[in-house]
Structure 1
Amino acid sequence: MADTPGRTTSPLMADLLQSGHQFSFVQVMRLARIFLDQNGIEGLPEIPWQERVQIRPELSLAFPAADVARVQRNGANLRVTTTFLELYGPASPLPNFYTEDLLDEASNDESVFRDFVDIIHQRLYHLYFQCWSKYRLFIRVVEENNPLDRERLFCLIGLGEKELRNTLPDSWSLLRYVGILTQFPRSARGLATILRDALNERRIKITQNVKRMVPIPRNQRIRLGVSGCRLGVDTVLGSEIADRMGKFRIEIGPLTWDEFNNFLPGTRQNEKLTALVRFYLTDPLEVELKLILAAGEAKPIRLGDPKARLGLNTWCFSGKTLGEVDAGFQVSATAFKQKTSSVPEPSLSPPDLHRSMVDYYREERSHLRELTEHFVQKHPNLVPLVSGPMADPGVERLLEGTAFYNSLLQRKLDDDIPEFIHEVINPLQPEHLRPIPATTIVAFTPKAELHNPLQISAGAEVESLAVQGIKCRFRTCIDVTVHPLTLLNSSFTQPSGKAASIKLCCALNGIGLSSWKVETLRFFLADNSPAARDLYLLLLHYLKRITITSPDNGTTVELPPGYLKPVGFAANEALLSGETSFTPGHQIVQEYFLFPDKFLFLDLAGLDNCRTLGNGLRFEINFELAACPLVVPRVNEKSFVLFATPVINLFKHKAKPLSVNLKVQQQQVHTAGEHSAHFQIHSVDKVEGLLKKKSAKIKYEVQNPLLQHSKEGHICHITQGRSAIGDGFDTLLSIPSHNTQNQTDRIKLDIDLTCTNGILPEQLGIGEVCVAGVATPESVELRNIKSVTATISQGIDQNRQWRLFSGFSLNSTSLASANNLRAVLHLFTNPNSRHQASVMANTRKIDSIVSIEAKTADRLIGRTIYRGYDIRLKLRGDHFAGPGDLYLFSSVLERFLGGYVTQSCFVRLVVEEIGKGYQFEWPARMGDRCVL
């Protein structure tokens, strides 16, 4: 049928136009989107469907029978008349006489006032429809094809980056199993459930702990005359060893002849099974596929049979058939290849979260201005009233107020559901929601009166000189022990015919070597970036042995190179958080990109052997290097610094007291003090309340709303909301109602905070963090020896927190290609930093990854064989400041890659530089993920 000449209307549209009152408002809008969208049946290019739907309320005081009174054509567009959410009509919040005035106006064939009020209605109804669909994921993903909601679902299963999704043949189908894929640890039941559904095959059984005989790597087999093996500790006789931890079996059947052939290697079903198994597993386990052919289905082999595959589905036998038979195959360890997803990525432009409230307000004013222009085109005699310099102030205030409330609503509609993702991220990696404070390196120098070792624990406070009248306060991140010791000089020597060495001359103060109570001594490599990192490379990779000599009597103590260890990678050496991280590799990478100097510390152990050197005051530490090191170091008085530690701009502070009652859902927390602009909230530590009427003190337990431990007692919730006036997040506090409290009771809250000084520390120079705090001993002097880093507000890019959460579900797809690994690493660079030179340098390092090859392997660790990955990375050396810079980056990656496997598997990394051809190798290291 046709309603206008030349236009054919579909039956559904005809039904909508004829019986619009039988549809709900939401149904009408969904159908309008389908038909009028640019790709729809009646779509027009470059005209959004929203602009083609005019919505206004029914002008009546009658009781409405439905949401929609009628749907009509308005040329090529639609006009929808509603009966709810109206400023006139029976449901209006305004007095009835406003509607009566409009009815009188309509009786005179006029509509001036109604058309003006409909300016507000038009925008209001479209916002209402957005509100309806905001949390309906099926509508957003399937009907609207919203790319942001699709991405959030993929983030739940570790496929937040487009590069990872494109690795899988059909990533879209995996969203069906989000509930299973988010469960850790992995289980046989979970894998069986996915396979049964995806392969449409119920006859699947998984057998765990299948025995296998594993060949021992040749370089780990015990041989006579080869040292390094200890009987009863790490010796295993023979060339292979039994193992039950590294293999399981998938049994499918009994199957018919055709079903059996469909699962053979090389078939689509087999490839699908392989991809699902490898995606589900976090460890590179060996998987055997056992196909069971039902009794009577086996066929004798015949020459020329096109379906016969020797060794797979052929049997030699006499008679017509066999009983039940089976065949076993190994499931491929490499299932992922770069492919294009079967569902194309939507190309809609995501909203810009960097827009401030002012930007949203201006956008809403623009919408209302366009609607006002349509109004004055219809009523040209009212132009002076609604626009121009003589516009009515009341009209202006009304439109401005409408724009303000609309902008608040639109801002909420554009968010990435922070009420969920922030509460999930906070217990896992809280630093992703907190400002990143300024950091630097502080060196403590012992005074002459110090004669015994002095430990300065992590958390000791130090201060800076005043900046704009405020002393910036820092606290130490790692324990540091100050000894009565002075580093006299350091030098590099390479005598002819002898190995090169780095020598440190040290002198004790008021105590002899025999009385010196020391176990480890920490050095900081304090030279500029290339020199310090080259020195880091030499000492950790080319070190042959360490000798400590007393010049007084010539006595020498020799230590193996393993006694010199890197600092900054342990859980208790974190910079940003004092809490144990669920993913230590993530935290290490993030801290490296923020403050790489934190990893230039070295601990020398075994110094308790110095007591055998006599009672002299002086001694020399000699680091003897292997022949032909890659770089020649530049060693001077700045190369080594004793008793240094990283410090971070964090300190205790009070919040402004809050007076709340339980009717108010959320209140923003502000810092107290005269210069509150220079204090930025990092975390809420403690909340106590005083009930005014009863003078009763209440202690609140700060809990995550999604992870409540108990309903007993008093709890409060701390959440982060995107700041309305700038980057970063605001801290919001809410107190759930308690059955012993009245909703109107006033409670005064006393809140303890951890704060930063914002961007103020960036004005400090070297040597200006030099004031001892309350807990800092007087027997040491201090000063910062590195520049203070910039403070960074956490990025508020669309879905950034979701993509960071995606990193908690790392799987082997990230190891399928260099492109995938680069995409994951880019997550941990913060483009919101004002120090763009650092961001560009980090990006260049990530882009240096040319290729990655991850092979499954077995290795002896102790007397047990373990399964793991042998990973080979190829990097471009010209993306780094030198070989030492590349080595430090690779060391961080080695720790990061440990997050791909559990603690029952290993990762062994080899890094090759493709320009000059040198390579670095790390020993096998067990994974970070918890097994249970």
Structure 2
Amino acid sequence: MSLSRYFQDELDHLRRSGDAFAQRFPGLTKYLSSRATDPDVERMMEGFAFLTARLREKIDDQLPEVTQSLLMLLWPNFLRPVPSMCIMQLDPIPGAISEVQTVPAGAEVHSIPVDGTVCRFRTACRAEIVPMAVEMVRHDVSRAASVVTLRLRTLDEQPVTDLNLRVLRLFLGGASYSAQTLNLWMHRYMRKATMGTEGFMLGLDAEAIRPVGIDRDDAVLPYPDNAFMGYRLLQEFYTIPEKFSFFDIDVPSLRFLPARTKELTFVFEFERPLPPDVRIEASSFQLNCTPAINLFKHSSEPIRLDGRRTEYALLPARIEGSELEIFEIEEVNGWLPAPDGRSNGISRTYARFESFSHEMERADDRHAVYFREKVSQGFAGADLTRTLSFIREDEALENRTDETISVSLECTNGVAPTHLGIGDLNRPMRNLPSFVTPRNLTRPSPPCYPLVDGSLQWQLISALSLNYLSLQDAPALRNILMAFDFPARTNMQRERGAKLRLEGIETIASERVDRLFKGLPVRGMRTHIGMRESHFESEGEMFLFASVLAEFFALYATVNSFHELLVQGVERGEVYRWQPRIGNQPLL
């Protein structure tokens, strides 16, 4: 419960009980009655209610000092907000490039001003920029099958064979229902895929079309190296599901094409017709796209460490008119002036208290200095406030001198990006190559904030401490998945959809299986999940959800083992099978 609720409860209690006391003992008090209007008494009652509310909050908080320290040490990402994210398109300028070029991750794009705030996004993944454009998309349907034809054309009439094109990455755009359904057909119901130009078509291998979004290189949310990557996949599915709508096509050598060919056509033949309400149009296939996230480097307001307080507020350095929120602390530095007042002071770096660097400080015979971060719920509700406390082994020596603390931060623009529309992120910055023009294809997602309530953090720690036994029971799996759905905690509509989706997991069972891998027996696990199709917006959404679960299970499998997932629709009987995946979790 938030502090405002505690405050309102205490104030209501004071007014009700004060009125009853004044009626029972009218000679003792004349100020507690509801008919009294003395403003000084009102202020005193509000102040007392506020202090009592803080006390009740502390009594009910279930030791967040313990849970936060554990999360800060092992899973610090769950004490950070999830920033706003979107899909960015980097269109090449005609005539600027003649072959495929690479834009590295971290290229920065700014938005138009929103109430005085310029939102700053950076690309999360490397993007291969292809100097081509979508010329035509056609959908031919019969009673037994569907055929989708995609034709691309070079921008400056240069031959396709000169582009140095090896891998073509496409983003499935348009409405989410159509994009997710087309994604299902691309990876589940593909009968044959060909590419080339009229009269010169070449068949593609079954492995030539690959889904994108599950590999570590495709990560959008920053995660610590020691964190389990399966958790990142779950968080990204709940906050930016569009990132799983990318796919790669391995392009074979184009030497079989006529020398001056300026077009490249892909034909996708499916085993069954697409649903009639799926719209296939030019926007269904987008080139030169990559996810982007609202993150940028910033610094804090300086902190004067005078030793007179136990906690110091951590605030980002103010930029006039801008909305700033802290994502994470990168580095904390202190500066001690020289005793004689000269400029050659002492600079030192503070280590995080929840770390394994304590013995290193003592081994190097250095004075240990640490900082400890405390995250609490802001008075506004969803936002977070952060304070720092400092531990200095040389405190007794330095209490005569004020130390200045500066903090390097990663920041976001809070909720400001949610006011942006499609195309409003269009201002390239210095580290974005000059041969592209940026624009956002999707509206930025709303940021999500972790709830720092102690009981919820204990639930999260329980979910993070999972094992295979935790994954073999449908109610337990639902609880684990719900723990990572941050948007559902603050959005009632999202909460209803999340509960319906999780209730669609009807059964789960696992069995040990043995397979031969390169002539050697390997033991793994096969999991069968029964899902109810009507609990999902579409079959495409259920397939995407199950695909993320397949990778989540596989990532949790131990080294030298594997995992195989089978999902069966309870209502229609459709069976989806994923290839066995080798695990990467070390045996304990």
Residue number in structure 2 paired with 1:716: 371
The answer to whether the Cα contact below 8 Å between 1:682 and 1:756 also exists between their aligned partners in 2 is yes
1:898 aligns with 2:542: no
CA distance in 1, matches of 2:570, 2:420: 41
Pick aligned residue for 2:317 from 664, 672, 676: 672
Pick aligned residue for 2:135 from 475, 488, 509: 488
CA distance in 1, matches of 2:407, 2:183: 44
CA distance in 1, matches of 2:32, 2:464: 54
1:531 aligns with 2:178: yes
1:924 aligns with 2:580: yes
CA distance in 2, matches of 1:536, 1:400: 57
Pick aligned residue for 1:641 from 268, 281, 286: 286
Taking the TM superposition and a 5 Å limit, the aligned residue runs for 1:433-832 are 433-448=79-94, 449-493=96-140, 500-510=146-156, 511-551=158-198, 554-580=199-225, 582-605=227-250, 607=251, 609-613=253-257, 615-625=259-269, 627-628=271-272, 631=275, 634-675=279-320, 678-694=323-339, 695=343, 696-705=345-354, 707-709=356-358, 710-711=360-361, 712=366, 714-739=369-394, 741-830=397-486
Structure 1 pair 918–738 and aligned structure 2 pair: CA distance change class (3 A): same
- Between structure 1 and structure 2, the one with the greater Rg is 1
CA distance in 2, matches of 1:389, 1:469: 46
CA distance in 2, matches of 1:793, 1:737: 31
Structure with bigger RCO (C-alpha 8 Å, 6+ apart): 2
1:647 deviation in Å? Answer: 1.1
1:404 deviation in Å? Answer: 4.2
The answer to whether the Cα contact below 8 Å between 1:557 and 1:610 also exists between their aligned partners in 2 is no
Query: What amino acid maps onto 1:754 in structure 2?
Result: E
1:773 deviation in Å? Answer: 1.8
The answer to whether the Cα contact below 8 Å between 1:516 and 1:611 also exists between their aligned partners in 2 is no
CA distance in 1, matches of 2:446, 2:123: 17
Structure 1 pair 913–700 and aligned structure 2 pair: CA distance change class (3 A): same
1:369 deviation in Å? Answer: 6.5
Structure 1 pair 660–864 and aligned structure 2 pair: CA distance change class (3 A): same
1:530 deviation in Å? Answer: 1.6
Query: What amino acid maps onto 2:266 in structure 1?
Result: N
The answer to whether the Cα contact below 8 Å between 1:790 and 1:835 also exists between their aligned partners in 2 is no
CA distance in 2, matches of 1:415, 1:598: 36
CA distance in 2, matches of 1:923, 1:634: 30
Q: Secondary structure at the match of 1:894?
A: helix
1:492 deviation in Å? Answer: 3.0
1:394 deviation in Å? Answer: 8.3
1:411 aligns with 2:57: yes
Any unmatched runs of 5+ in structure 1? Answer: 1-352
The answer to whether the Cα contact below 8 Å between 2:161 and 2:261 also exists between their aligned partners in 1 is no
Structure 1 pair 601–748 and aligned structure 2 pair: CA distance change class (3 A): same
1:915 aligns with 2:584: no
Residue number in structure 2 paired with 1:382: 28
Any unmatched runs of 5+ in structure 2? Answer: none
Q: 470-479 vs 452-461, which deviates more?
A: 452-461
CA distance in 2, matches of 1:396, 1:833: 35
Alignment deviations for residues 882-918 of structure 1 (CA, whole Å, 9 cap, x no partner): 2222211110111122354322322211111122221
Q: 358-367 vs 878-887, which deviates more?
A: 358-367
The answer to whether the Cα contact below 8 Å between 1:571 and 1:580 also exists between their aligned partners in 2 is no
Query: What amino acid maps onto 1:542 in structure 2?
Result: Y
The answer to whether the Cα contact below 8 Å between 2:78 and 2:450 also exists between their aligned partners in 1 is yes
Q: Secondary structure at the match of 1:471?
A: coil
Query: What amino acid maps onto 2:333 in structure 1?
Result: E
Structure 1 pair 860–747 and aligned structure 2 pair: CA distance change class (3 A): same
The answer to whether the Cα contact below 8 Å between 1:790 and 1:834 also exists between their aligned partners in 2 is no
Q: Secondary structure at the match of 2:283?
A: coil
The answer to whether the Cα contact below 8 Å between 2:127 and 2:290 also exists between their aligned partners in 1 is yes
1:871 aligns with 2:511: no
After superposition, the CA RMSD in angstroms is: 3.1
CA distance in 2, matches of 1:393, 1:782: 57
**Would you tell me which structure has more strand in proportion to its own residues?**
2
CA distance in 2, matches of 1:659, 1:893: 48
1:714 deviation in Å? Answer: 4.2
CA distance in 2, matches of 1:682, 1:909: 35
1:457 deviation in Å? Answer: 1.5
Share of identical aligned residues, percent? 28
Structure 1 pair 862–619 and aligned structure 2 pair: CA distance change class (3 A): farther
The answer to whether the Cα contact below 8 Å between 2:333 and 2:405 also exists between their aligned partners in 1 is yes
1:794 deviation in Å? Answer: 1.9
Q: Secondary structure at the match of 2:112?
A: strand
Pick aligned residue for 1:886 from 542, 563, 579: 542
Query: What amino acid maps onto 1:737 in structure 2?
Result: R
1:659 deviation in Å? Answer: 1.1
CA distance in 2, matches of 1:857, 1:442: 43
1:844 aligns with 2:500: yes
Q: Secondary structure at the match of 1:599?
A: helix
CA distance in 2, matches of 1:469, 1:861: 60
Matched pairs, number: 574
CA distance in 1, matches of 2:138, 2:44: 77
Structure 1 pair 738–542 and aligned structure 2 pair: CA distance change class (3 A): same
CA distance in 2, matches of 1:735, 1:370: 43
CA distance in 2, matches of 1:702, 1:895: 35
CA distance in 1, matches of 2:140, 2:545: 27
The answer to whether the Cα contact below 8 Å between 2:100 and 2:164 also exists between their aligned partners in 1 is yes
